[in-house]
Amino acid sequence: MSLNELKEIVSLDQKYYMNTFGSRTPLCFRSGKGIELTDVSGEVYKDFFAGIAVSALGHSHPKLVEALCDQVSKLLHTSSVYYVENQAKLAQKLCEISDFDKVFFASTGAEANEGAIKLARKYFYERGIDRYEIITLNKSFHGRTITTATATGQDKYKAPYKPLTPGFVHVDINDIDGLKSAVNEHTAAIMIEFIQGESGVHPVSDEFAKTIRTICDSEGILLIDDEVQTGIGRTGKMFAYMNYGVTPDIMTLAKALGGGVPVSALLAKEEVASAFKPGDHGTTFGGNPLSTRAGLTVLDVMEQEDLVQNSAAVGEYMRDMIKSKLCDYIKEVRGMGLMIGVEFNNPIAREVVNKLIDKHYLVGAVGDSILRIVPPLIITKQDADEFTDALLQCMD
């Protein structure tokens, strides 16, 4: 009966849903608790993918469930024509725990990044300065709108959609000479992920991060930090930039901020944020009572349960375990906190993903050789041990 149920869901999807995801993994989940997901047949899987780094608190965290049920029973949406209590409080909280002064809320990471690009260009427009180019990194990922796809340093995400938004230049990660050569009198900003997730968990080097900040300061241009995936404790700090001792001018957040409820944020220093005037930017759903209640609750739980420190400690432990137990099979283990990339010596990543599914573990693959492991930030060292043992068994 349950197998037939899954077949019916797949059939409906294939008939009515635009095929943008190809052949999906043949699983459909009905409920979740902690790091576990239960599918329509009652099988339980341990989730080390967290909905692509979204479910930082795991699934059905009691405090998030309670807060969302309470909010749904009261008020879902009014629009930003009116003041929104949760919106104001979440903006305050984000500014207090970061190095920024102002916040704008949207619903997706692409929206937040689009807003960041608009803000950087508006900043110089307000000053009568002809700066509009944005330097980004090859193999980066910034979203799927036309503009954020153009910003993304991967041709596969933008080749079919030409003509693209003009004004973007790409350089290689950690290529200091290339970066310096790319800066010119029209450069408005350098936009980076401190750890590139979609290309296989590649951190920028300390030297590269500090060089970017130095260039921005000396040239009077802006540093945009895309923390859609790395933000909210994922890297063992509340925000990835804190691992580098470098402060951006603009930062974007999404994914883990709502714990599964769609919410994103654009943060900026006061001087930069003031470039946006009434009517310059907006959104219908962004920052509504429900999504910002989710954000407030996620941040409260992160603090109460010390999940940023847990991410740092368990992440380091897990990377060490994988290195020691799988040393004969891996080329490199990369990452910070609980954002981990495992690159194999051979192109076996997709095979390993399938073997892990057979063992009821969920992870992601980047290409043919890299596993992306981004579990909920609530995992324990015992969870990490059990996962590493399962991963080792997949090597046989």
Q: Which of 150, 140, 201, 211 is nearest to 175 (CA)?
A: 211
Task: Single out the catalytic residue among 39, 225, 255, 344.
Answer: 255
Q: CA-to-CA distance for 298 and 63, rounded, in angstroms?
A: 9
CB atoms inside a 10 Å sphere around CB 344? 19
255 is catalytic: yes
141 is catalytic: yes
- The three-state DSSP-derived secondary structure of 247-260 is CCCEEEECHHHHCC
Q: CA-to-CA distance for 394 and 100, rounded, in angstroms?
A: 45
Q: Does 248 sit behind a cis peptide bond, omega within 30 degrees of 0 on the bond before it?
A: no
Cα–Cα separations (whole angstroms), residue 179 to 223, 281, 294: 13, 30, 38
Indicate the residue type of 278: P
Task: Single out the catalytic residue among 47, 226, 249, 383.
Answer: 226
Q: Which of 294, 302, 292 is nearest to 89 (CA)?
A: 292
Instruction: Kindly write down the DSSP assignment for every residue of 184-248, as one continuous string.
Output: -TTEEEEEE-SEETTTT-EEPPHHHHHHHHHHHHHHT-EEEEEETTTTTTTTSSSSGGGGTT---
226 is catalytic: yes
218: Cα separation from own chain's centroid: 29
Task: Single out the catalytic residue among 48, 104, 105, 141.
Answer: 141
Contact 56, 299 (CB under 8 A): no
Contact 383, 362 (CB under 8 A): no
Give catalytic residues, as residue numbers: 141, 226, 255
